[in-house]
A and B are shown apart, each in its own frame.
Chain A
Amino acid sequence: MQNFAAEFNSALALILEGDSELWAIVLLSLQVSVFAVLISAVIGMPIGAALAVARFPGRRMMIVLMNALMGFPPVVVGLLVYLMLSRSGPLGILELLYTPTAMIIAQVVLVTPIIAALTRQVIEMLAEEYSEQLRSLGVSRLASVPVLLWDARLALITALLAGFGRAIAEVGAVIIVGGNINHVTRVMTTTIALETSKGNLALALALGAILIGIAVAVNAIVSALSLRAEQEGLRHA
């Protein structure tokens, strides 16, 4: 184990010394996952909020389904997206397989249910709190969605971060639809999988440490930003 620790340290040092190839991989990881989370938010937040305020038959059913989709196995998502984007699939003509776009699509499928489900929870509580006020203003349930989303924006950041966490850490789907192609679709998690399969365990672990570091940094930045927003909100109030 002493050997392993030394190996880990030298791997970590090597990486941090500015291996440009590695930073390109880190950048692609962030690019793909941030894009995926933003798209998921645009899709998932209105759906979640609508489910929170609207009343229609089958609503409970949809909520159960959405919550269940949070646990959708990434490999299955990868397979479904592969079948869609394959040259013999319905969208094959777009030639998107083995591109970062394919990875974004897979991550959107994985992340949207998480953001939608968490949004529903947040908005449902808020809607209850505001229900009298909104009713007295004559705002219909669905028309209140944008107001509620805006008001809950700070709480919804947690939903975004949960989605980001799922996206950046995911390997099963992106390795199928991205193909782990060097300089094209190789991201942090697929690099870690590759190095593990080469038996370079110390290097794989060092890469894992960097991935965790990035996740911590992203969370810290978002947390700092939302704290500032909160304080400014208080000052204006």
Chain B
Amino acid sequence: MFRGIIRAALITLGLTAGSAWAEEPFIVVQSTTSTQNSGLLDYILPWFEAESGIDVRVVAVGTGQAIRNAINGDGDVLLVHAKTDEEQFVADGWGVERKDLMYNDFVLVGPKSDPAQIKGGSDILTALTAVAAADAPFVSRGDDSGTHKAEMGHWVATDIDPTQDSGSWYRETGSGMGATLNVASGMDAYTLTDRATWLSFGNKLNLEILVEGDPRLFNQYGVILVNPEKHPGVRANAGQRFIDWLTGPDGQAAIESFKLDDQQVFFPNAN
């Protein structure tokens, strides 16, 4: 009764989703900043929304936070890029099933002056080792995001522990990709970024791509329906419909047609 009154009041005020209670006219997608900042989601979502009548509400945060929010049930669909963590998410019962969605790659960007002299390389481990050896400023996300996890994985492979030098040449921003790129361009530092965010980033200043093309820089995105058995409030029907569309021919074609600077930036690979 009390709850009903509150809802009625809120709906009257026009401050909540109104008819949201009856059916599933919208879903909440916990996603990563790269899919939003690059403009991909703004580009493909209108197709799905027109076809299904389902409004897609995107909360764009780092992959680590997106997964935690989804574990709390604060989203119907999870769209992130940290495959091991995604599989763990499903194995722990928080998600129904993980599907590959698309991929792109990471690139190592840095100042044109290139103090560590890594330009043109295609081996990320060699490049990172050179950066560390030169004590050249390197900015890390430091926020448990998909990109941060990928970066830490490369450091482990080099046998260097950069966090020991945290605060000197190794600088952890603890913030999103865009904020971290702003820091890197502000202090002429190296940083690892996904290509989509890099291409759409508007404050590059002296930064440019220095290392790319290493197969280890592969960046896979996956999509998962949050488990309605864990959180009964999950809009499972609409969420599943969105996943089916994304991984189906229409969604994959939409992803493929998204371009930045005439370049395709996300490569659909749902099977």
A-B interaction? yes
Residues of chain A having any CB pair with chain B under 8 Å: 35, 86-89, 92-101, 104, 179-182, 184, 194, 196-201
A–B complex contacts, Cβ < 8 Å, 6 sampled = A86-B74, A87-B74, A93-B233, A101-B10, A180-B59, A196-B178
Q: CB within 8 A of A92: which of B73, B177, B179, B201? A: B73
Residue of B nearest to A202 (CB): B202
Verify B202–A88 contact, CB threshold 8 A. no
Residue of A nearest to B69 (CB): A86
Verify B3–A94 contact, CB threshold 8 A. yes
Verify B15–A200 contact, CB threshold 8 A. no
Verify A87–B201 contact, CB threshold 8 A. no
Verify B57–A98 contact, CB threshold 8 A. yes
Verify A180–B74 contact, CB threshold 8 A. no
Q: CB within 8 A of B182: which of A87, A194, A199? A: A199
Number of interface residues of B (CB under 8 A): 35
Residue of A nearest to B200 (CB): A198
Q: In residues 190-216 of chain B, which contact A (Cβ within 8 Å)?
A: 200-204
- Known contacts A87-B74, A197-B176; decide if A184 and B57 are in contact (CB<8 Å): yes
Verify B72–A88 contact, CB threshold 8 A. yes
Verify B7–A94 contact, CB threshold 8 A. yes
Q: CB within 8 A of A87: which of B33, B72, B179, B202? A: B72
Q: How far is the CB of A78 from chain B (nearest CB, A)?
A: 13
Q: CB within 8 A of A97: which of B60, B74, B176, B200? A: B74
B20 contacts across to A, CB distance below 8 A: 95
Verify A199–B181 contact, CB threshold 8 A. yes
Residue of A nearest to B20 (CB): A95
A182 contacts across to B, CB distance below 8 A: 42, 57-58
Which are the 9 A-B pairs with shortest beta-carbon distances?
A197-B178, A87-B73, A199-B203, A199-B202, A179-B59, A199-B201, A181-B57, A88-B72, A200-B202
Q: CB within 8 A of A199: which of B16, B42, B74, B178? A: B178
Residue of B nearest to A179 (CB): B59
Verify B182–A196 contact, CB threshold 8 A. yes
Query: How far, in angstroms, from A16 to B177 measured CA to CA in the complex?
Result: 29
Residue of A nearest to B10 (CB): A101
Query: How far, in angstroms, from A87 to B60 measured CA to CA in the complex?
Result: 18
| Central interface residue in A93, A101, A198, by most chain B CB within 10 Å | A198
Query: How far, in angstroms, from A97 to B10 measured CA to CA in the complex?
Result: 13
Query: How far, in angstroms, from A116 to B28 measured CA to CA in the complex?
Result: 36
Q: How far is the CB of A194 from chain B (nearest CB, A)?
A: 8
Q: In residues 95-145 of chain B, which contact A (Cβ within 8 Å)?
A: none
Query: How far, in angstroms, from A86 to B71 measured CA to CA in the complex?
Result: 10
Verify A86–B16 contact, CB threshold 8 A. no
Query: How far, in angstroms, from A100 to B179 measured CA to CA in the complex?
Result: 25
State whether the Cβ of B83 lies closer than 8 Å to any Cβ in chain A: no
Q: In residues 161-192 of chain B, which contact A (Cβ within 8 Å)?
A: 176-179, 181-182, 185
Q: How far is the CB of A116 from chain B (nearest CB, A)?
A: 24
Query: How far, in angstroms, from A196 to B202 measured CA to CA in the complex?
Result: 9
Q: CB within 8 A of A98: which of B59, B60, B233? A: B59
Query: How far, in angstroms, from A89 to B233 measured CA to CA in the complex?
Result: 12
Q: CB within 8 A of B59: which of A87, A181, A201? A: A181
Residue of A nearest to B232 (CB): A87
B6 contacts across to A, CB distance below 8 A: 94
A86 contacts across to B, CB distance below 8 A: 69, 72-74
Mark interface residues in B139-161 (1 if CB within 8 Å of A CB, else 0): 00000000000000000000000
Q: How far is the CB of A170 from chain B (nearest CB, A)?
A: 18
Q: In residues 38-82 of chain B, which contact A (Cβ within 8 Å)?
A: 42, 57-60, 69, 72-74
State whether the Cβ of B259 lies closer than 8 Å to any Cβ in chain A: no
Verify B72–A197 contact, CB threshold 8 A. no
Query: How far, in angstroms, from A99 to B177 measured CA to CA in the complex?
Result: 25
Residue of A nearest to B201 (CB): A199
Q: CB within 8 A of B15: which of A87, A93, A101, A198? A: A101
Residue of B nearest to A87 (CB): B73
List 12 additional contacts besides A35-B15, A93-B3, A180-B59; criterion CB under 8 Å. A87-B72, A87-B73, A88-B73, A89-B72, A92-B73, A93-B233, A96-B10, A101-B10, A179-B59, A181-B59, A197-B37, A197-B178
Mark interface residues in B9-50 (1 if CB within 8 Å of A CB, else 0): 010000111001100000010000100010000100000000
- Known contacts A87-B74, A93-B3; decide if A197 and B33 are in contact (CB<8 Å): yes
Verify B37–A181 contact, CB threshold 8 A. no
Query: How far, in angstroms, from A39 to B60 measured CA to CA in the complex?
Result: 30
Query: How far, in angstroms, from A93 to B200 measured CA to CA in the complex?
Result: 38
Residue of A nearest to B180 (CB): A197
A95 contacts across to B, CB distance below 8 A: 16-17, 20-21, 233
